[in-house]
Amino acid sequence: MSAVGLHFPRDFLFGAATASYQVEGAWNEDGKGENIWDRFVHEDSGRIKDHQNGDVAADSYHQYKKDVQALVEMGVDFYRFSVSWSRVLPTGVISSINQKGLEYYSSLVDELLANNIKPMVTIFHWDLPQPLQELGGWTNPILADYFMDYAKVLFDSLGDRVKLWLTFNEPLHVVRSIADWTHLAPGINLHTQGGDYLAVHTILKAHAQVYHLYDKNYRPSQRGRLGIALHSHWYEPKTECEADFRAVHQALQFDLGTFAHPILSDKGDLPPLVQGIVERNSKAEGRARSRCPTLDPSWVKRIKGTTDFLGLNHYSTRLVSLKEDIDPKSDWGVSVDIDPNWPAAITSHVKVVPWGLRRMLQYVKKEFGNPEVIITENGYADNGQLNDAGRCNFYKSYLAELLKAIHWDGCNVTGYCAWSLLDNFEWSKGYTERYGLYHVDYNHEDRPRTAKDSARMFRKIISTRTLD
């Protein structure tokens, strides 16, 4: 059935997103320190598909006013961007605060507000200060405190004007970048040493501490809201056999559940299934203890309920089946596949499966008691053409499923943010995968921005609040 006639609620928020390393450039200007992405790309350009980097990127550090103009053209309600930790705290810690870095974000916030656009700030979108990586990165529990110090600097300097905060973007990707995904910085593999679950603990604690800090010391005067942006694919069983249905449950518990369960479930803590599997695997590996340490009950309590809404980054769906043998590299225990009939413009991770978004939202409603959800990312990659019919079709079909989830399933979704405002540095894919509603000409020194067809379509959807 189609979504014809359905409307987005009047107070529903539409936005577009970017992240610091992917758009800002100015990697070593005005006192910014080095972060793990600077190090990763400079050490070996071969790590990036087109041997490029984010040194200049879309040059948003100098051209943020053009970004805001593009947002104005589309008529969005909010702009989601992230702060580069190293731009604000070059050494990672608060003994030296870079005023110029803070001024940049302050000017961006002012420019947005002057144009009636709400800022939504992601405190951490993957670009950890390199000195903190030297300290062990997220495997070191002290980072939970350093993260809190950093967040405090942002609340103090921007919180009078920023009312929407996200602590982490896709923390599970951060965890995997130190465990089994060498294509993301810092690109180290500490799975065998249990680095992934140490990082899960630190990030959960960091998030919870910042939530409580905001709640207690800032919310009363600043009156903002704070959440976390979690990524999850939707999963479908590869075959009709019972084991593949179990694989779906398992994949969701690992993918969404690792961070959502401790924060959003009634019981809190990591999903029992995840803990059980890691314990079983650890035993089979001949270890004295599980690679996933037990969270102290006081922390379970402190982490539970620490979000005002769930930020959900959703792009696509995967087929899963249960694996027979234990995989020494991953605990998930599922084989992941795609249906070759699912369309995609290029070989990106985004296969177009709009109904997966609706199922994902139904699952979140059921699993976590219908929390408020803001879709913090959803988008489509192509080669960057201006006549981007594939992206238009993607947005229309996913938004249609979102309307059904809101109106027919009663899912509590209050906002939607497109990834991305601009063509930008797509991590290990460099500039070969373009997600922008606006094209950026990377052959031109000035990085001119040009609206694609999808930007005009998005504008119409926002102004009419319907897809008709």
Q: Closest CB to ligand NOJ among 98 and 424?
A: 424
Site for ligand NOJ in 288-347 (CB under 6 A): 313
Which residue in 86, 169, 250, 316 binds ligand NOJ (CB under 6 A)?
169
Q: CB of 422: closest distance to ligand NOJ in angstroms? A: 11
Q: Give the total of residues touching ligand NOJ (CB under 6 A).
A: 9
Give the alpha-carbon dihedral of 431, 433, 439, 441, to 10 degrees. Answer: 20
Q: Closest CB to ligand NOJ among 111 and 170?
A: 170
Stretch 412-441: interaction string toward ligand NOJ, x if CB under 6 A: -------x------x--------x------
Q: CB of 230: closest distance to ligand NOJ in angstroms? A: 10
Which residue in 127, 308, 377, 382 binds ligand NOJ (CB under 6 A)?
377
Do 215 and 157 touch, CB atoms closer than 8 A?
A: no
Q: CB of 164: closest distance to ligand NOJ in angstroms? A: 16
Q: CB of 169: closest distance to ligand NOJ in angstroms? A: 5
Q: Which residue has the tokens 């694996």?
A: 323
Q: Closest CB to ligand NOJ among 170 and 388?
A: 170
Per CB under 6 A, 269 contacts ligand NOJ? no
Q: CB of 33: closest distance to ligand NOJ in angstroms? A: 21
Q: Closest CB to ligand NOJ among 385 and 466?
A: 385
- Active site amino acids: 170, 377
Q: Closest CB to ligand NOJ among 264 and 421?
A: 421
Q: Closest CB to ligand NOJ among 26 and 230?
A: 230
Peptide bond into 220 cis (omega under 30): no
Instruction: Please give, one letter per residue, the 3-state secondary structure of the chain.
Output: CCCCCCECCCCCEEEEECCHHHHCCCCCCCCCCCEHHHHHHHHCHHHCCCCCCCCCCCCHHHHHHHHHHHHHHHCCCEEEEECCHHHHCCCCCCCCCCHHHHHHHHHHHHHHHHCCCEEEEEEECCCCEHHHHHCCHHHCCHHHHHHHHHHHHHHHHHCCCCCEEEEEECHHHHHHCCCCCCCCCCCCCCCCCCHHHHHHHHHHHHHHHHHHHHHHHHHHHHCCEEEEEEECCEEEECCCCHHHHHHHHHHHHHHCHHHHHHHHCCCCCCCHHHHHHHHHHHHHCCCCCCCCCCCCHHHHHHHCCCCCCEEEECCCEEEEEECCCCECCECCCEEEECCCCCCCCCCCCCCCCHHHHHHHHHHHHHHHCCCCEEEEECCCCECCCCCCHHHHHHHHHHHHHHHHHHHCCCCCEEEEEEECCECCCCHHHCCCCECCCEEECCCCCCCCEEECHHHHHHHHHHHHCECC
Q: Closest CB to ligand NOJ among 251 and 312?
A: 312
Q: At what angle do helices 272-284 and 257-264 cross, to 10 degrees?
A: 130
Q: Closest CB to ligand NOJ among 218 and 234?
A: 234
Q: Enter the tokens of residue 432.
A: 């070969």
Do 259 and 204 touch, CB atoms closer than 8 A?
A: yes
User: d(Cα 69, Cα 57) in Å, to the nearest integer?
Assistant: 18
Q: Closest CB to ligand NOJ among 199 and 277?
A: 199
Q: CB of 433: closest distance to ligand NOJ in angstroms? A: 7
Q: CB of 407: closest distance to ligand NOJ in angstroms? A: 27
Site for ligand NOJ in 353-372 (CB under 6 A): none
Which residue in 67, 77, 127, 170 binds ligand NOJ (CB under 6 A)?
170
Which residue in 3, 6, 13, 19 binds ligand NOJ (CB under 6 A)?
19
Q: CB of 309: closest distance to ligand NOJ in angstroms? A: 17
Q: CB of 394: closest distance to ligand NOJ in angstroms? A: 13
Contacts to ligand NOJ by CB under 6 A: 19, 22, 169-170, 313, 377, 419, 426, 435
